[in-house]
A = this chain, B = another copy of it.
Amino acid sequence: MSELIAFLEPDKAVIARRPEIIADLAGLVPGSCLITEERELVPFDTDAFVSYRRMPLAVVLPETTAQVAAVLKYCNDNAISVVPRGAGTSLSGGAIPQEDAIVIGVSKMNRIIEVDFPNRAAVVQAGVTNISISQAVDADGFFYAPDPSSQLACTIGGNIGMNSGGAHCLKYGVTTNNLLGVKMVMFDGSVVDIGGKALDSAGYDLLGLICGSEGQLGIVTEATVRLIAKPEGTRPVLFGFESSVSAGACVTDIIGAGIIPVAIEFMDKPAIEICEAFAKAGYPMDVDALLIVEVEGSDAEMDAMLERIIEIARRHNVKTIRESQSATEAALIWKGRKSAFGATGRIADYICMDGTVPLGQLSHVLAKTSEIIDHYGLRVANVFHAGDGNMHPLILFDANDPEESRKAELAGNDILKLCVDAGGCLTGEHGVGIEKRDLMRHQYAEVDLVQQMRVRAAFDPKWILNPSKVFPLEGRCGGLAEPGDAGPDHGKAAA
């Protein structure tokens, strides 16, 4: 892969002090929590955005909030960069370290602390996997709603960092809509509790701000999340269309009618072929676009909602309608969709874009995406959360061909700019990370970016937390070289 994206220049003075820093860290956490051997550091040199790799200076996997606090305070006191990490499933490079940085991973903090049904809440450590929360309350008839494709592996801490979504977020919202509180370690090692089980908070809503802040405002060590009662039943239904335009228009009309199914997933022809070959989900092969619409509730409720949806689909000349007739068939339909990334990875290298668009723009953006891909002579498969307008074009390429790799990155950038120009946004659920960092100026005016950087500086005055991410490297206010000098007035000067 070519490297279009720059990292911050590593701090040579920090790297030179590596033995001393490792000795200091060994005084802060048990030996079993500290990784310093090169061979053992390799698994931490990238995340699921595998295009870029950087070795960290060391990895710390604390077992307690107090250990996280001790390490973060040490790093801040010594102006050493920190890269927080969950399970390393970030698709935007949010957890990729660099040579002068300490990775603080929360994977050992994987305990479910409390389940509290009257308050519809679970309190968990940041390293629990997404799926394990639902598993812990399944027998009592509850679940945790956001369901990223990586839910078997990804941690709730990472989900909070990236404000992760999933196929079922159309009805239930993304992480921020299901998060009630966090325990967070601040840059100086102080520990704050934000939000909680009770409604609302006095003062500012720092919880909303923390969610999606990509590990730059502190390190979350515990989370209180919303539990939801499982519906009586669920039923995914396949709708096949003659064109992506018809399928897109159908989605717009469903939502425009005020109907909110649990999920509306979209797959174009290449995505259908790739997923069917892998999962044998029984998808219809004679259509150009497929919607998976999932409804839930009692049989009567599902029937009533489906009746309205089918009526709308008919107006868009739907070719195939197939309701799942059993739990097995329903699971198979979802297996096909959820294996899209893995199945694509078997036939080609790919990068997955994550732009969102207002719903009326779906068909336009799909058509323009095709044009962009044709321009670069590449291939694309579209499989995404259509009800939310959250596009996921998978750009296929050969990573061994540097020129094609470069073209794939350029095409991805063009597609994200297209989403922004259509009134949308660079990212729906994968975060900015390093991948979209340099596109932030396309999304935001200088005044917007400066304001976000002012907020960042109010949480991390030395800019030690995940410093290569989110904000373009040029024109940062304050910057790493001037600790504590990134306050409001400095930000203004940078504007």
Q: Would B200 and A359 count as touching, CB distance under 8 A? A: no
Question: A451 — which chain B residues lie within 8 A by C-beta?
Answer: 186, 192, 206, 458-459
Separation of A165 and B488 alpha carbons in the complex (Å): 32
Q: Would A432 and B212 count as touching, CB distance under 8 A? A: no
Q: Does A97 contact B (CB under 8 A)?
A: no
Q: Would A118 and B252 count as touching, CB distance under 8 A? A: yes
Q: Does A455 contact B (CB under 8 A)?
A: yes
Question: A452 — which chain B residues lie within 8 A by C-beta?
Answer: 203-204, 206
Q: Does A389 contact B (CB under 8 A)?
A: yes
For residue A439, which residue of chain B has the nearest CB? B202
Q: Would B258 and A203 count as touching, CB distance under 8 A? A: no
Q: Would A199 and B258 count as touching, CB distance under 8 A? A: no
Count, chain A residues at interface, CB 8 A: 97
Q: Does A388 contact B (CB under 8 A)?
A: yes
Shortest Cβ distance from residue A363 to the other chain B in the assembled complex, whole angstroms: 12
For residue A461, which residue of chain B has the nearest CB? B488
Q: Does A108 contact B (CB under 8 A)?
A: no
Q: Which parts of A172-220 form the interface with B (CB within 8 Å)?
A: 174, 176-177, 186, 188, 190, 192-194, 196-209, 211-213, 217
Question: A197 — which chain B residues lie within 8 A by C-beta?
Answer: 358, 423
Q: Does A282 contact B (CB under 8 A)?
A: no
Task: Given A163-B205, A205-B211, A258-B228, verify A455-B458 contact (CB < 8 Å).
Answer: yes
* Copies held by the complex: 2
For residue A216, which residue of chain B has the nearest CB? B204
Q: Does A426 contact B (CB under 8 A)?
A: yes
Q: Would B388 and A199 count as touching, CB distance under 8 A? A: yes
Separation of A360 and B197 alpha carbons in the complex (Å): 10
Separation of A283 and B38 alpha carbons in the complex (Å): 74
Question: A77 — which chain B residues lie within 8 A by C-beta?
Answer: none
For residue A416, which residue of chain B has the nearest CB? B202
Q: Does A486 contact B (CB under 8 A)?
A: yes
Q: Would A458 and B461 count as touching, CB distance under 8 A? A: no
Separation of A120 and B199 alpha carbons in the complex (Å): 25
Task: Given A118-B255, A258-B228, A360-B118, verify A440-B487 contact (CB < 8 Å).
Answer: no
For residue A449, which residue of chain B has the nearest CB? B203
Q: Would A426 and B205 count as touching, CB distance under 8 A? A: no
Contact code string A417-440 (vs B, CB < 8 Å = 1, else 0): 001000111111100100010001
Q: Which residues of A contact B (CB under 8 A)?
A: 116-120, 141-142, 163, 165, 174, 176-177, 186, 188, 190, 192-194, 196-209, 211-213, 217, 227-230, 252-253, 255-260, 297-298, 300-301, 304, 356-360, 388-390, 419, 423-429, 432, 436, 440, 443-445, 447-449, 451-452, 454-459, 461, 470-471, 484, 486-492
